[in-house]
Amino acid sequence: MRAFFFTRSRKIESVMALLVIGDIIAIFVMIGIAVGLFFLTPWFLKSRVSGIEIMSGSQTVGRFSLESNRILDVRGILGNTQIRIKDGKASVVSSPCSNKYCIHMGHIGESGGILVCVPNEIIVYSVKKTEDGLDAVSR
Amino acid sequence: MNERTLKMARLAMMLALATSIHALEALTPVTLGWFRFGFANIIGLATLIIFGFRDAFYVTVGRIFVGGLLSGSLGTPSFFLALSGGVVSIVFMGAANLIKRRYLSEIGISVIGAVAHNMAQLFAAYLLIVRNDSILTLAPIMILTATATGFINGMATHYLVLSLRKQWRLGQEPGHTSSRS
C-alpha cells in the first residue's frame, strides 16, 4: 500500500517512518476528542434551550415555553407578526413586512437560534435555562 | 563572528521568514473563512526545536505583531485572535518539546500546537466576537482540521530543521530518528 503511493520518491517514503509512538497517540487523542465533542456538543446545547423570548422594538414582549403549541400575535410598528410554536419549534408564519425574510428564516428548535423581522422590529430568540432552575414562564 | 551575533542574525532571519509567511498567508484567499494552514508556525516550531522555548516565543509573538503591522490588522479582533492562538500554541508546543524526541517527534508537537492554537482562537472568538454557545459546534471540525494541518506542518518542520542544522553546521540532535534515507 505504502509502496504503491510512494514509489516515485524515496525521500517521501520515510515520512511514515518519522512517526513515533507519541505522534500516533497525539493524533488519535485529538481525533477522539473531536469525535467526542461532535456528539457531546449538540446534547449540551440542546439541554439548555428552554424557550423563546420575543422583543418588539426595544420592549420585551415576553418569554414563552416551547412546550405548548400556540400562535402568538406580536404587535410591531407595521402591524401584527404571527409567531407559531408547534412541536417544540417556533417560527414566524405571517408578517406585514414586504420581503418576508423572517418567514423564510425557518424555525427555532432545541438547538436555539434567532428570528428577526427588521421592518416590523420583531426579534425572536432562544433563551437558556437559568441558574435557579426556572426554565420558562408561560403566559 | 562571535556566537551571540550569529545566533541573533539567525533568529532575525527566522523572524523575517515567519513574518513574511504570516503576511502572505493573510493575503491568500480562503474559501472556508476560518481555515488556514498556519505555515508560519513551521518557523516557530523550528525555532523552538533549534533554539529553545524563549527564542521561539519571541519569534512567534514578534511575527504576529510585525505581521499585524504588515497586513494592517494590528489592533483588530483578528489580530487578537492570532495573538491568543500564537501564544497558547507556543506554550503548549514548548511543553511538548520537553518530551524526548524519541517518544514525540515534530509531527506530534505540531499537532498539539495546532489544536491548542485553534482552541485558543475559538475561545477568544467566543469572548471577543460571537458570545453564543452555538460556536462550540465548530470545535470538533476545528480539531480535525488542526490535526491534519498540524501533521503537514510537522513534516515540513522536520525537513526544515534537518536542512537548517546541516546549513548551520549544528550537528544532529541526539536520538533523532530519521537520518536514514
Give the separation between CA A7 and CA B108, rounded to whole angstroms. Answer: 25
Domain boundaries, chain B: 3-167
**Does residue A46 have a pLDDT over 80?**
no
| HSE-up of residue A126 (Cα within 13 Å, Cβ side) | 24
Contact check, Cβ <8 Å, A10/B181:
yes
* Mean pLDDT value of segment B137-164: 90
- The hierarchical CATH code for the domain A50-128 is 2.60.320.10
Contact check, Cβ <8 Å, A41/B136:
yes
Q: How far is B72 from chain A (nearest CA, A)?
A: 33
Give the separation between CA B103 and CA A55, rounded to whole angstroms. Answer: 57
Cα–Cα separations (whole angstroms), residue B75 to A13, A76, A78: 44, 39, 41
**pLDDT range class, residue B12, cuts 50, 70, 90:** very high
What does the H/E/C string look like for B63-118?
HHHHHHHHHCCCCCHHHHHHHHHHHHHHHHHHHHCCCCCCCCCHHHHHHHHHHHHH
CA torsion through residues B89, A33, A23, B107, sign: negative
- Which pLDDT belongs to residue A43? 76
Q: What is the pLDDT of residues B90-148, one digit of tens each?
A: 999 999 999 888 888 889 999 999 999 999 988 888 888 777 677 778 888 889 999 99
Q: What integer best gives the mean pLDDT of chain B?
A: 85
Cα B76–chain centre separation:
21
- Name residue B103's beta-bridge partners: none
Q: How far is A122 from chain B (nearest CA, A)?
A: 20
The rounded percent of chain A whose pLDDT value lies above 70 is 78
* Identity of the amino acid at B42: I
B117 touches chain A (CB under 8 A): no
* Mean pLDDT value of segment A8-24: 70
B42 or B37: which carries more pLDDT confidence? Answer: B42
Contact check, Cβ <8 Å, A20/B111:
no
- Name residue A116's beta-bridge partners: A123
Domain boundaries, chain A: 2-46, 50-128
Give the separation between CA A106 and CA B133, rounded to whole angstroms. Answer: 20
**pLDDT range class, residue A40, cuts 50, 70, 90:** confident
B133 touches chain A (CB under 8 A): yes
- Which pLDDT belongs to residue B14? 92
A102 or B44: which carries more pLDDT confidence? Answer: B44
- Name residue A127's beta-bridge partners: A51
* Mean pLDDT value of segment A112-125: 87
**pLDDT range class, residue B179, cuts 50, 70, 90:** very low
Cα A47–chain centre separation:
12
**Does residue A8 have a pLDDT over 70?**
no
The rounded percent of chain B whose pLDDT value lies above 70 is 90
The closest of A53, A59, A60, A58 to A83, measured between CA atoms, is A53
Of A15, A23, A37, the CB nearest to B139: A37
* Mean pLDDT value of segment A76-102: 87
B67 neighbors B26 (Cβ within 8 angstroms): yes
**Does residue A134 have a pLDDT over 60?**
no
Whether the full predicted model's pTM is greater than 0.80, yes or no, is: no
B129 Cβ neighbours under 8 A, 6+ residues apart: B77
Contacts of B105 in chain A (CB under 8 A): 18-20, 22-23
B42 neighbors B159 (Cβ within 8 angstroms): no
Contact check, Cβ <8 Å, A14/B180:
yes
C-alpha cell of B172? 544532529
- Its ipTM equals 0.80
Contacts of A26 in chain B (CB under 8 A): 104, 108, 111-112
Give the separation between CA B92 and CA B25, rounded to whole angstroms. Answer: 23
Residues 74..133 of A with a Cβ closer than 8 Å to B: which? 111-113, 128
* Mean pLDDT value of segment B26-48: 79
- Which pLDDT belongs to residue B60? 93
* Mean pLDDT value of segment A112-133: 79
Of B111, B133, B141, the CB nearest to A30: B111
A69 or B88: which carries more pLDDT confidence? Answer: B88
**Which segment of A50-54, B38-42, B130-134 scores lowest on mean pLDDT?**
B130-134
A105 or B119: which carries more pLDDT confidence? Answer: B119
**Does residue A44 have a pLDDT over 80?**
no
Give the separation between CA A117 and CA B107, rounded to whole angstroms. Answer: 50
Q: Work out whether strand A80-86 and strand A89-94 pair parallel, antiparallel, or are unpaired.
A: antiparallel
C-alpha cell of A66? 416551547
Give the separation between CA A104 and CA A81, rounded to whole angstroms. Answer: 14
Name the CATH topology of B3-167: Arp2/3 complex 21 kDa subunit ARPC3 (1.10.1760)
Contacts of B99 in chain A (CB under 8 A): 22
**Does residue A47 have a pLDDT over 80?**
no
